[in-house]
Amino acid sequence: MSLIFRGRFQLILKLEQICIFRRADLLQTVEKTKSPTAFKKVLVILMSLVAVALLAIATFILIPGEKTVFAGKKPANIGVVSGKLAACPASPNCVSSFSQDAEHKIEPLAYVSSPAEAMAKLKGAIESSAKTKIITATDNYLYAEFTSALMGFVDDVEFLVDDGAKVIHVRSASRLGESDLGVNRKRIETIRVQLNQL
């Protein structure tokens, strides 16, 4: 992580802490005085603190540079083991066609062409998505990283061709956080629609 980025991130955290402490102090002052003038002063100070916090966030977003603090580390369980992709963790930020529970289960991608043609279409669909990078691609396996536009969160997405069943098994998992707000499921369903249109 670059020193500039680390400094910006620490500045934002410090400003957030100051805002929390200042807000508590100001609310106590208002409770003690209960005067309209004190309330106006508190309101102006709170608005100033919010403005400083928003400015810090805007600076973080707008200043060019690699935002990798939210990328996380590449998981060690990427790849095919015994003909399957890794199981999803207990957290709800993963979907897999190998999962059996409703929270993580997603249907594999069906195809009617040859495996090579299906993989070519899949690569095209992935490459048409913004902020994606194909890391590994073989004749029956593909691993790509999808990065969120705003904060740079990285999701690991894997595809495994099962030519006997004419499906491409999928696994899409967030590296960080507990919930993905349905992003991984939506991504796979979007790819499914793209493949059906090609």
Q: For 76-85, write each residue's pLDDT tens digit.
A: 999 999 999 9
pLDDT at position 4 over 50: no
**Which range is least confidently modeled, 4-18, 50-64, 71-85, 170-184?**
4-18
Model confidence pLDDT, tens digit, residues 45-68:
888 778 777 766 666 566 555 555
| pLDDT in the model for residue 24 | 52
Looking at residue 34, its pLDDT comes to: 60
Q: What is the pLDDT of residue 46?
A: 81
SS3 letters for the chain? CCHHHHHHHHHHHHHHHHHHHHHHHHHHHHHHHCCHHHHHHHHHHHHHHHHHHHHHHHHHHHCCCCCCCCCCCCCCCCCEECCEECCCCCCCCEEECCCCCCCCECCCEECCCCHHHHHHHHHHHHHCCCCEEEEEECCCEEEEEEECCCCCCEEEEEEEEECCCCEEEEEEEECCCCCCCCHHHHHHHHHHHHHHHC
User: Residue 177 pLDDT more than 90?
Assistant: no
pLDDT of residue 3: 43
Mean pLDDT over each residue of the chain, to the nearest integer: 82
Name the residue with higher pLDDT: 72 or 117.
117
